[in-house]
Chain A
Amino acid sequence: MQREGSAFAGLGVVTLKELSDHLTSVRMRVLEWLVVLVALAALYGAIQQIKDTTAEDPFLFLRLFTISRDPLPSFVSFISFLVPLMAIGLGFDAVNSEYNRRTLSRILAQPIYRDALLFGKFLAGLATLAISLLALWLLVIGLGLLLVGIPPGAEEIGRTFLFLLITIIYAGVWLALAMLFSILFRSAATAALVTLGIWLFITFIWPVLAGAAAQIIMPIDPRYASLGLPTPGTAEAEHILARLSPTTLFAEVVVAILDPTTRSLGPIYLSQMQGAVLGAPLPIGESILIAWPQTVAMIASVILLFVVGYVIFQRQEVRA
């Protein structure tokens, strides 16, 4: 049965309203300051490190993002922690707050479909994250220019821009997850706690568990172990399991994009390395090819999480 009219009637109105809510909210201001301060700290560490080591790196500018100096982690690792927090902060009360304010039935009594409300909220959240990340990206490039004093090449700009796009997709995964829980739980606090719990599990616990689970699925071969080598089957299983986590996917894509010498994201055999000039950088197109499967997986998880939330929301009763 065909529904009457467009599912996207009112989408623009909802998106603009939610966007202006986000941009003027206190929550957003706190998150922005957190991001800026963290970026400054990480950059400071990276620049100190770059100044100490002699600069013979052809991709010095990319090092700004990846180099760390104890005790601070690198800019990229900061981002991979903070972006989920920002996305969860924006999404955890997207739908349940409409229930709790009792605005949902009034808004849905206007000539729009639920699709427009949910999609509008997602787009507004994503746009907010994109704006903050774009500002952060410009900030880092500007500070890098000022403090390091070497202008970045076109390829370096291209690679960091890809990094920006991928970070936005990564943010989308967490935003979709947070919105899913905002649909499932009527209490915003419960939704926030559950989403944060899942974030902690995926980011800190899952990598450890993946290793243990891989050894159960594919026991370590003592012949490899006696040589001090990892068992190929075990390593492969561990990779597959670890890649269920979007954090792992993001980390792998970032390595491939920001480190041009990356040739593979999985285990590599010596036979495959024959004829390769070790440490030689790959062109940007080849790096994208390496990162492509992980990128697609992240986009797919955004869509999957959103669709699950969408289906649940469509079936939910509007009465509070």
Chain B
Amino acid sequence: MSEQAVIEAKNLTKVYGGRAAVDHISFSVGRGEIFGLLGPNGAGKTTTILMLLGLTDISGGEVRVVGFDPAREPLSVKRRVGYLPDTVGFYDQMSAADNLRYTARLIGFKKAEREQKIAAALDRVGLAEQAEKRVATFSRGMRQRLGLAEILMKGAQVAILDEPTTGLDPHATSELLGVIRGFKAEGVSVLLSSHMLERVQSICDRVALFSGGKIALMGTVAELGREILGGGYVVDIEADGAGLAERLALIPGVSGVERTGIGKLRLQADRDVRPEAAAEVVAMQGRLKFLGVQEPSLDTIYTRYFERKAEQAVASKNGARHAA
């Protein structure tokens, strides 16, 4: 694990009533990295987050957050880490700024820096005009943004966001993801959890896919795609020209050509063959209308992974039966 890691977990385990909710997981998050904990509800994501913050006891394993042990030095951890719980709540009868003032006092900011920090944070998330409005009137998206403002105000080195996009409309989601990208630009590490894979795929540097309290897969989306989907690139091409399909099939690395519509072809390849494909079309004096490569989608990776696991389980069962 690198020196730069702000979060390091080794064999982290949490047992609830004899059942392991989090089962020996290890991962690390580097400085300025956006790390996604992805997986279905109940897979252990929130429990992992609560252990990182020292808000729940650790049953086993080791964890370091910005160099501190959350179980023994919770105040040092919580001073440097911002946390946005899933469905964050505020005191409804108080204004947005008053809610942040209360948090700022709990953190221990002096009055002068408090006001300046609150104003700057609210401005960053686009809530400056609503600062004196009661939170009761806020929409879900505004509450989530207020939660991010709290992390900004705190000047946290690490932002831990639990299901930040759940229940938001597409517009609010993209606004929120914009603010999260802003964290990265400032060198703040982000750990976010989500069960909506495709939403967060675009902003995560690396992801860990959770399943039943274990990390099933970890790495960049591209790495996982190669590993699980068999390193396949899918290139879609729309062009006209007789015999194009045959000529494209001859490009080195192309393993298959499939006709998906009139003048539409899909190439299976082990690398990005877009330059060669374009050259072939041009050489044939055909007209190239569309050329694109499909990014591996986390949804596909996730589904494929569990299909494969199920197949393997069946296969090993059958194998065992045959052996007997």
Q: Are A and B bound to each other?
A: yes
Q: Hey, which bits of chain A sit against chain B, CB under 8 A? A: 1, 3-5, 9-10, 13-14, 17, 101-103, 105-113, 317-319
Query: Contact: B106 with A111, CB < 8 Å?
Result: yes
In the complex, how many angstroms separate the beta carbon of B200 from the nearest chain A beta carbon?
Answer: 21
In the bound complex, residues from chain B placing their C-beta under 8 Å from that of A105 are 50, 55, 83, 85
The stretch of B68-76, B237-245, B250-258, B286-294 that contacts the partner chain? B68-76
- Cα distance, A103 to B105, chains bound together (Å): 16
Contact A318 B106 (CB under 8 A): no
Distance in angstroms between the alpha carbons of A107 and B91 in the assembled complex = 11
A132-B108 Cα distance, complex, nearest whole Å: 30
A319, B90: Cβ atoms under 8 Å? no
In the complex, the answer to whether B106 meets A102 with C-beta atoms within 8 Å is no
State whether A1 and B72 are in contact (beta carbons under 8 Å apart), knowing that A101-B92, A111-B108 are contacts in the complex: yes
Q: List 8 A-B contacts (CB under 8 A).
A: A4-B72, A101-B92, A105-B83, A106-B85, A106-B103, A107-B103, A113-B74, A317-B56
Taken together as a complex, chains A and B put the C-alpha atoms of A36 and B50 apart, in Å, by 47
A102 touches B50 (CB 8 A): no
A111 touches B79 (CB 8 A): yes
Beyond A13-B105, A109-B53, A111-B76, 5 extra complex contacts between A and B, CB < 8 Å: A4-B73, A103-B91, A109-B78, A109-B82, A113-B75
B147 contacts A by Cβ under 8 Å: yes
From B73, B91, B107, contact of A110 by CB (8 A): B107
Q: Which residues of B contact A (CB under 8 A)?
A: 46, 50, 53, 55-56, 72-76, 78-79, 81-85, 87-92, 102-103, 105-108, 147, 150
Closest to B93 in A: A21
Q: Are A110 and B56 in contact (CB under 8 A)?
A: no
Chain A residues near B89 (CB, 8 Å)?
101-103, 106
Q: Which residue of B lies closest to A107 (CB)?
A: B106
Which of A102, A103, A109 interacts with B55 by CB under 8 Å? A109
In contact, A4 and B75 (Cβ under 8 angstroms): yes
Q: Are B83 and A111 in contact (CB under 8 A)?
A: no
Partner among B56, B81, B88, B150 whose Cβ is within 8 Å of the Cβ of A102:
B88
| Residues of chain A lying within 8 A (CB to CB) of residue B84 | 106
CB neighbours (8 Å) of A17 from chain B are 102, 105
- Nearest chain B residue, comparing its CB with the CB of A104: B89
Is there contact, CB below 8 Å, between B75 and A9? yes
Contacts of B105 in A (CB 8 A): 10, 13, 17
Write the chain A residue with the least CB distance to B147.
A106
A108 interface neighbour in B55, B91, B107, Cβ under 8 Å: B55
Complex contacts, B108 vs chain A, CB 8 Å:
9-10, 111
Which residues in A have their C-beta under 8 angstroms from that of B76? 4, 111
Contacts of B102 on A, CB cut-off 8 Å? 13, 17
- Pairs A-B, 9 closest by C-beta atoms: A102-B89, A109-B83, A110-B106, A13-B105, A111-B79, A5-B75, A105-B85, A103-B89, A101-B89
